[in-house]
Amino acid sequence: MGSTAQGSIVLAFDVGGSYVKAGLVDSRTGMVVSEVARHPTPPGGKPEAVLDLLVDMARDLPTEGPIGLAFPVVAKSGVACTAANIDKRWIGMNVQAHLQARLQRPVAFLNDADAAGVAEMTLGAGRDRQQGTVMVLTLGTGIGSALFVDGRLFPNTELGHLEVGGEEAEHRASAKVRADRNLDWVEWSAEVNAVLAAYHALLWPDLFIIGGGVTENWSHFGSLLVSRAEIVPAAFGNDAGIIGAAMAAAALASR
């Protein structure tokens, strides 16, 4: 992207197990300059259906230049290596190449929690925390994790799948679990605290940044969270994924 204000506006997607979001982001400031389009993820998260939806959403948010794509997978060199909350046929697919071919534009492809983490560490709640260990957690359909040591991302950590008390962390403490099990905020926060304790025992972060759409209800549960590490809400909330994806796309353009 160029240095002009118009040239810094990037189209970015954040694909989740429940919803696909898209927006236009000023990659310099992290400001979302359009309404965030939000559509239910096609049933089962099937590849063709999701790609068709991304193309349709791109048509509704016209821009030029690279596009950012945050995705709920381990992402390596454009390829999806896992598929926890979407169709297993994504595994082994070069998602970056497929979307580039469909849109005829460069695509920056990265893990969704890593995208959220980049946004928070660059311009959000972690922008002044470039020393020590920071964990960004996104509580949604699953639990996404992004780990930063002295400001550097250790990508694709997927700590939502760590076993905590005989169960995957995201099967205990995701936002979806709270809704599915009809847990109140006290009950759910106790589950989140168990997960935070397990993460802290292994990695000793100095700071947890809690993100995902559930942060809209921070006033209900934020004070219930406890850890030996500091805990703060994500500054960008549920938009962090598209903001980080836009930053990745802008970086791609500057190479």
d(CA 13, CA 23): 7
Q: Which residues of 17-38 are buried (b: 16+ CB within 10 A; e: fewer)?
A: bebbbbbbbbbbebebeeeebb
Name 30's Cβ contacts closer than 8 Å, sequence gap at least 6. 119, 122, 123, 124, 236, 243, 247
Structure tokens of 69? Answer: 């794509």
Token look-up 């979407």 returns 86
Return the half-sphere exposure (C-beta side, CA atoms, 13 A cut-off) of residue 220. Answer: 11
pLDDT at 123: 96
Residues of the chain by 3-state class (helix, strand, coil), percent to 5? 40, 25, 35
Q: Strand, coil or helix: what is 21?
A: strand
Q: What is the mean pLDDT of each run of 10 residues along the chain (255 residues)?
A: 58 95 95 96 95 97 94 97 93 98 97 98 96 97 96 97 97 97 98 98 98 95 98 96 97 82
CB 84 within 8 A of CB 142: yes
Give me the amino acid identity at 178. Answer: R
pLDDT at 189: 98
Tell me how far apart the 2 most distant CA atoms of the chain are, in Å: 52
pLDDT at 70: 98
CB 109 within 8 A of CB 78: yes
d(CA 19, CA 241): 12
Cα 246 to chain centroid distance, Å, stands at 12
pLDDT at 6: 52
d(CA 16, CA 32): 18
